[in-house]
Amino acid sequence: MPSPPEQDFATNSAGAARLPIQRRDFPHRFVFGTATASYQVEGAFDEGGRGLSIWDTFCKTPGRILDASNGDLAVDQYHRYKEDVDNMAEMGVDAYRFSVAWARIYPDGLEKGVNKEGVTYYNKLIDYLLEKGIKPYVTLYHWDLPQKLHDSFGGWTSQEIVKHFAAYAETCFAAFGDRVKHWITFNEPLQFSVLGYGLGIHAPGRCSDRRYCKAGDSATEPYLAGHNVILSHAAAVKIYREKFKALQGGVVGITVDAEWAEPMTDSVDDKVASQRRLEFQLGWFLDPFFFGDYPATMREYVGDRLPKFTPEEQKSVRGSVEFVGINHYSSRFVTPALYAKPSDNYHQDQRILTSAVRNGAVIGDKAASPWLYIVPWGLHRVLKWVSERYNRPPIYVTENGMDEENNSTLTLDEQLDDLKRIHFYQDYLTAVLQATREGMDIRGYFAWSLVDNFEWAMGYTKRFGLYYVDYETLKRYPKRSARWFKRFLSNSIKQEV
């Protein structure tokens, strides 16, 4: 059997004792923050000159969103940003990771020029954050592509997208870079490449299954999208380094995501399958930036469907990541899988099976989402894998959190009493702390999310927030976890039991 997980910070279902941790336990300049995404929180979809995004269109397609909702209003941060910033200041966070809505800057792609109202909105948000002592960490793309760019040439499936993203990034660098020092080009390119272009369950809803998708090719489009993301990142970084870095002094990274892949057994086959799973998740996007090409396993298993870099592209891509953002929520056991026919999608290409159960035992406690198991040692192992494979790059945990059901039968007090989330953060932060003590260059941690919000295909059925949002009035209420974070960040925390 595999060696047991790191028991010094893991907890069990019986509630094993937790050692209290405090902010002072972390490195002096370690950054603590919260995170959101534009489509999930902003609302105001038809205000301030904003154009339509692929998520505006996708949400209006019947059957795509679990509760038939959308982000038209979301939680109205567009109008309530000061309230949200004030709440973060009350908690004592150092930073806020938010995303810019591309269609709020360029409503119709690039054809109608910069939307000054959009620039003004983000300037006001950034200025108010700084006024409250909170640093902005800005994501340029968190899945909401302007619809016109998808309609015109296929969005991320076409290399035409590279010049458009580069121009959009340059506009943001010029408008906000005097105050923004940490840029993230893309959030979770794996997810929007596979879910949007392979499974069709996220925007723009493309896949090979004509029972579900009107168009798409699951065998090729996810890899085309991923390839063009990598080229777009490199193009944006080139612009930043040539035109802005000397004056602004910022850094540009990318955020990737992964579950930890734990071998089902100690067998060589399971260990190889686990490594292959991580290479398909993390290596897909990080290997080109650090080594100049995709993992050899992907070349072998995907074959000619995996695009190739030209020598010029390799030169541009390699070395263009200045820090790595890691989004992590859950872990799985992994074992090899054999298919009778040739694979024709990202999941089959990996030749693996994943499971949350081994020998009748579940890998961790369950959150609300069917995919989210609470496995703190999994985050530690993801951080270690990235640190060792890429020679100790600077890392930020850019998302980590857990959800609860949106249960209308509970009282407000019951909704706010989220002790399970407190234990989640205690255990996962302890995993991050251990990583820093082992010499990994972990520089920050961002809790997902600041507020309950629109959770993509799940709509408003799940709640990840530190702040509860009444979806009828949009009033924010601090959950018990928000109060815990305030004590944690003030170094006066008392252990929750």
Establish whether 242 is a catalytic residue: no
Q: In sequence order, which residues have a C-beta less than 8 Å from that of residue 103 and are 6 or more positions away?
A: 50, 51, 52, 53, 144, 145, 146, 147
**Is it the case that residue 13 has pLDDT exceeding 90?**
no
What is the Cα–Cα distance from 38 to 143, expressed in whole angstroms? 9
* Helical spans, DSSP H, in 198-318: 221-243, 245-248, 268-278, 284-291, 296-302, 311-317
Instruction: Give the model confidence (pLDDT) of 321-336 as tens digits.
Output: 999 999 999 999 999 9
Task: Tell which residue, 447, 491, 443, 481, has the closest CA to residue 23.
Answer: 491
Residue 221 in contact with residue 206, Cβ under 8 Å? yes
Collapse the DSSP code of 208 into the 3-class scheme (helix H, G, I; strand E, B; otherwise coil) and give the result.
coil
Region of 359 please: left (phi>0), alpha (psi -120 to 50) or beta. Answer: left
Instruction: Please state the rounded mean pLDDT for residues 103-108.
Output: 97
Q: Is 106 annotated as a binding residue?
A: no
What is the Cα–Cα distance from 368 to 66, expressed in whole angstroms? 14
Collapse the DSSP code of 232 into the 3-class scheme (helix H, G, I; strand E, B; otherwise coil) and give the result.
helix
Give the pLDDT score at 9. Answer: 39
Instruction: Give the model confidence (pLDDT) of 189-232 as tens digits.
Output: 999 999 999 999 999 999 999 999 999 999 999 999 999 999 99
Q: Is 322 annotated as a binding residue?
A: no
Split at pLDDT 50, 70, 90, the class of 491 is confident
* Helical spans, DSSP H, in 46-160: 54-59, 77-91, 102-105, 116-131, 147-153
User: Phi and psi of 232, rounded to 5°?
Assistant: -65, -40
Give the pLDDT score at 208. Answer: 98
462: buried, middle or exposed (CB in 10 Å: 19+, 13-18, 0-12)? buried
Instruction: Please state the rounded mean pLDDT for residues 167-189.
Output: 98
**Is it the case that residue 188 has pLDDT exceeding 70?**
yes
**Is it the case that residue 1 has pLDDT exceeding 50?**
no
Split at pLDDT 50, 70, 90, the class of 306 is very high
pTM of this structure: 0.96
Task: Catalytic residue, from 188, 221, 313, 322: name it.
Answer: 188
Task: Tell which residue, 318, 321, 212, 202, has the closest CA to residue 256.
Answer: 321
Q: Is 484 annotated as a binding residue?
A: no
The packing angle between helices 419-437 and 480-489, to 10°, is 30
Give the pLDDT score at 2. Answer: 39
Instruction: Give the model confidence (pLDDT) of 452-464 as tens digits.
Output: 999 999 999 999 9
Residue 450 in contact with residue 34, Cβ under 8 Å? yes
Instruction: Give the model confidence (pLDDT) of 232-255 as tens digits.
Output: 999 999 999 999 999 999 999 999
**Is it the case that residue 497 has pLDDT exceeding 70?**
no
Give the pLDDT score at 120. Answer: 98
DSSP letter string, 116-149: HHHHHHHHHHHHHHHHTT-EEEEEEESS--BHHH
Q: In sequence order, which residues have a C-beta less than 8 Å from that of residue 369 and are 6 or more positions away?
A: 403, 458, 462
Give the pLDDT score at 14. Answer: 34
Instruction: Give the model confidence (pLDDT) of 467-478 as tens digits.
Output: 999 999 999 999
**Is it the case that residue 6 has pLDDT exceeding 70?**
no
Give the pLDDT score at 15. Answer: 42
Task: Catalytic residue, from 259, 279, 399, 404: name it.
Answer: 399
Q: Is 142 annotated as a binding residue?
A: yes
- Displacement of CA 492 from its chain's centroid (Å): 30
The CATH superfamily holding the domain 23-491 is: Glycosidases (3.20.20.80)
| Cα dist from 279 to 127, 276, 298, 299, 334, whole Å | 40, 5, 8, 11, 13
- Domain definitions of the chain by residue range: 23-491
Q: Is 187 annotated as a binding residue?
A: yes
Specify the amino acid at residue 291. F
* Token pair recorded at residue 135: 């640093």
Establish whether 399 is a catalytic residue: yes
Instruction: Give the model confidence (pLDDT) of 26-67 as tens digits.
Output: 999 999 999 999 999 999 999 999 999 999 999 999 999 999
Give the pLDDT score at 17. Answer: 60
Task: Tell which residue, 435, 419, 375, 434, has the closest CA to residue 400.
Answer: 375
What is the Cα–Cα distance from 77 to 43, expressed in whole angstroms? 7
